[in-house]
Amino acid sequence: MNTPDQAPPARTITLRVNGIEHTVGIEDRELLVDVIRRRLTLTGTHAGCYNGDCPVTMNGGIVKACLVLAASADGAEITTIEGFSGGAGLDPIQEAFWAEDGFQCDFCLPGQLFATRNLLDSDPEPDERAIRGALSGNICRCTGYVTVVRAVQEAPRRSTVLSQRTLSFALLGC
Ligand code: FES
């Protein structure tokens, strides 16, 4: 008799993850976080316990991958933390967290980064209260949040520097 792990997949779904299409066999009860981590081996999405560790974007909105049945994500466009910057380098938000020591063990980092992007998309210059409110779903056991707040405040400055640099290179024809 097959154990659940040995049972043949109940269904096949297709996910577009970080721009790459994957067709995977899954169990009906399987969670999106487990498909991302175990079947696609994208382990930057952490399997925590509702602390904000497993966020991904699904069709443009942030979801906690541990609260989504993989079957319901069939056909979805997903971005994990591995695809956060959209390229080889760091996104300005990641640069800011790095520069301001906005993390230590990094367990909470995916959640902090996705929540920061979400906040800055609607409020490019948030005050400390807005930052703490926007990140309140992400529990960090390491930093005490002071450096996290500083990182979020720093991120828009890095975005501006980056776009000025890109504009200069474009004007120089680089
Ligand atoms: S950096 Fe360790 S939990 Fe936030």
163 pLDDT higher than 70: no
Task: Please compute the mean of the pLDDT values over residues 46-55 and round it to a whole number.
Answer: 75
Residue nearest to ligand 1 atom 4, measured at CA: 140
Same domain, residue pair 72 and 98: no
Distance 45 CA to ligand 1 centre (A): 14
Q: Is 139 in the pocket of ligand 1 (CB under 6 A)?
A: no
Q: Cβ(38) to ligand 1 under 6 A?
A: no
Q: Is 164 found in the same domain as 97?
A: yes
- As given in the structure block, the two tokens for residue 164 are 């000025």
Q: How many structural domains compose the chain?
A: 2
Q: Are residues 64 and 103 in the same domain?
A: no
Q: What is the pLDDT of residue 67?
A: 92
In a domain, 146, yes or no: yes
Name the residue with the closest Cα to ligand 1, atom 3.
140
Question: Looking at residues 115-129, what average pLDDT do you find?
Answer: 95
Domain boundary residue, one of 51, 83, 115: 83
CA distances from 149 to 40, 98, 165 (A): 32, 13, 25
pLDDT greater than 60 at residue 171: no
User: In this structure, what CATH number is given to the domain that contains residue 137?
Assistant: 1.10.150.120
Same domain (yes/no): 160, 98 = yes
Q: Which of 48, 24, 49, 19 is nearest to 35 (CA)?
A: 24
Same domain for 79 and 96, yes or no, is: no
Q: What is the model's pLDDT at position 6?
A: 63
Mark whether 109 and 37 lie in a shared domain.
no
The pLDDT value recorded for residue 174 is 47
Q: Helix 92-99 and helix 109-122: axis angle, to 10°?
A: 120
Shared-domain flag, residues 112 and 166: yes
CA of 113 to the centre of ligand 1 (A): 12
Q: Is the CB of 105 under 6 A from ligand 1?
A: yes
- In-domain check, residue 6: no
Residue 29 domain boundaries = 11-83
Of 24, 54, 83, at which residue does a domain stop? 83
Does the beta carbon of 108 sit less than 6 angstroms from any atom of ligand 1?
A: yes
- Tell me, yes or no, whether 71 lies in a domain: yes
Judge whether 16 and 76 are in contact, CB under 8 Å: yes
Whether the per-residue pLDDT at 74 is higher than 70: the answer is yes
CA of 5 to the centre of ligand 1 (A): 31
